[in-house]
Amino acid sequence: MPTKDLYKLSAEELNKGFVRGLFSAEEIASHFLDRINSIDPFVNAFIDVFSDIIEKGRKLDERRARGEAFGKLAAVPISIKDLIHVQGKKTTCASNLMKEYVAPFNATVVEHMVKEDALLIGKVNLDEFGMGALGANSAFSITKNPWDTSRFAGGSSSGSAASVSARMCPLSLGSDTGGSTRFPASFCGIYGFKPSYGSISRYGLVSFASSLEQIGLFSHSPEDLKLLFSCINRDCKFDAQWKKSEVNTGVNRPFKEVSIGWTPDLFDESSQEAAQCVNKAVQQLQAAGAKLVPLRPYPLSTWINAPIAYQIICCSEASSNLSRFDGIRFGKQITKPSFADTVSATRAKGFGREVKTRIIAGTYFLSSMQKKNYYSAALEEVMRLKELYRNIFNKVDFLLMPSASSTAIPIGTKLSSKERHYLDVYTCPVNLAGLASLSFPVLLWENGLPINCQLIAPKGHDLHILNLANQLKELFPVMEPNMDLSK
Ligand code: GLN
């Protein structure tokens, strides 16, 4: 493999090539830094690029010369959503308020990756604090879709998806509170994995809606997702929710022995793109010998209230979680004569519009007069969804659903509130129920852009889903953007 083509390799291939001495870690580091330098001015995925990986690569090369052993991610460049702490580097949360904040410790996931000798290549863009679906709400301007730079990359993990799609790194960590990994993975035509709630530590991920969010993973291949997942599905003494993903007997079943449910009635009201995407996945899986089970009746209305419950819960939790950004504990302070004015001026100037809207809405939802109408009602919807999925997973091992209802949307599009509601309709029910889900590329639509499906599994079946995807990867190869970056 000529050194100029290193960017085409998977994480596994880069790691093996380095360990076997086919290329040096310093070469890998400088190769990917060069690629970021030439491509990112058009894409705007990175908020901060870590050029110190050249030095880190050199150290790995010295260790190799001494014959030392390496971790599973040795010499693999990984980008990180700028909502996850890397000690000594900024965690901006894509917010004006946090532009200067330097993380005093590593997130647990970062600790695990560093122990496995990964090369952390930089922090990537997002919707401020993870609030959004398009990547439009960043204080560092919009990340563009490598398939067509006049379109959104999807959000909120916009930089994670774009950095992997444009092959500026083979792996990225994002987060997924209501779809922020699976949705941008669809806009960019790559794999995006939202693990079960609790299977990856959230310690060091800046909290937005703690009961819903998980760190998410992006790559070009299910093998690489499994590699990264196996390195970070590890213990954390700071996250009481952490639980090792269960290694159940189903994990290594051949795909012909598992059943995959799908919901034909959903497509009476869904978009053509979503319907065709699922139909194509059903046909291909069936042709390969998988057992597809039509589940009835599950019309779109089954999931239609989930985004409302999601908004109530995420805004409520955000209103509490974000109270620490007051300019005294966290955030750039605007100093005024009184305490109250200082806090108020700091937050008014530092937060963007979407964040303020959600804090105000959440405060209202939790107010004593309204709690019953909103928050308690939303929790009832969560119970209903959990029961719904329990019934589904009594019948089948996995559930096939769309990841998005359209391909990437042009930057500048003004969405109606109904359209915004539909952005999260397929993804957020999974978070409300704490399930695992893999978004995988299926189709190139008529406009030449990709669209994904998702495969949903019960809580704890993370490895089951990743192993299944591994067996099916030839059916769903990643499609490459032709990278016309002139627009
Ligand atoms: N689109 C959803 C929202 O705006 C999901 C965001 C996320 O998963 N972080 O809240």
Residue-wise pLDDT tens digits, 450-468: 999 999 999 999 999 999 9
Q: Are 184 and 424 in contact (CB under 8 A)?
A: no
Q: Report, as residue numbers or ranges, the catalytic residues.
A: 81, 156, 180
> For residues 327 and 333, what is the distance between their CA atoms, to the nearest angstrom?
4
pLDDT attached to residue 250:
62
Query: What sign does the CA torsion over 203, 206, 207, 211 have?
Result: negative
CA distance 346 to 354: 16
- Percent of the chain at pLDDT > 90 equals 89
Q: Whose CA is nearest to atom 3 of ligand 1?
A: 132
Q: What is the pLDDT of residue 474?
A: 87
User: Checking phi first, is residue 422 left (phi over 0); if not, alpha (psi -120 to 50) or beta?
Assistant: alpha
CA of 318 relative to ligand 1 center, distance in Å:
12
Which tokens is 426 given?
A: 């397929």
Q: Given this model, what pLDDT does residue 54 score?
A: 98
Ligand 1 centroid to Cα of residue 178, in Å, is 5
Going from the Cα of 460 to the center of ligand 1, the distance in angstroms, rounded, reads: 22
- What residue ranges line ligand 1, CB within 6 angstroms? 130-133, 156, 175-180, 314, 423-424
For residue 301, give the nearest of 268, 274, 262 by alpha carbon. 268
Which ligand 1 atom sits nearest the alpha carbon of residue 175?
9
Q: What is the pLDDT of residue 252?
A: 76
Q: The tokens of 360 are what?
A: 């105000």
- Sequence-distant (6+) residues with CB within 8 A of 48 are 82, 89, 90, 92, 122, 123
Peptide bond preceding 417 in cis form (omega within 30 of 0): no
Question: CA-CA distance, 406 to 270, in Å (whole number)?
Answer: 10
Residue with CA at minimum distance from ligand 1 atom 5:
178
Q: Which atom of ligand 1 approaches the CA of 157 most closely?
A: 9
Question: What's at 228, amino acid-wise?
Answer: L
Q: Give every residue of the chain whose pLDDT is below 70, as ranges.
A: 1-4, 246-250, 484-487
With the most atoms of ligand 1 within 8 angstroms of its CB, the residue from 183, 355, 419, 424 to mutate is 424
Whether 184 and 161 have beta carbons less than 8 Å apart is answered as yes
pLDDT for 421: 84
**Cα 474 from Cα 223, distance rounded (Å):** 12
**The pLDDT of residue 128:** 98
Specify the ligand 1 atom closest to the Cα of 181. 8
Atom 10 of ligand 1, nearest CA residue: 131
Single pTM value for the model:
0.96
Closest ligand 1 atom to Cα of 209: 9
**Ligand 1 probe mutation, 83, 124, 127, 180, most atoms within 8 A of CB:** 180
> How buried is 390 (Cβ within 10 angstroms: 0-12 exposed, 13-18 middle, 19+ buried)?
exposed
- 213, 314, 315, 359: residue to mutate for ligand 1 pocket, most atoms within 8 A of CB: 314
**Separation of CA 116 and ligand 1 centre (Å):** 30
**CA 287–ligand 1 middle distance (angstroms):** 35
Sign of CA dihedral 95, 427, 389, 201: negative
Pairing assessment for the beta strands 291-294 and 259-262 based on DSSP bridges: parallel
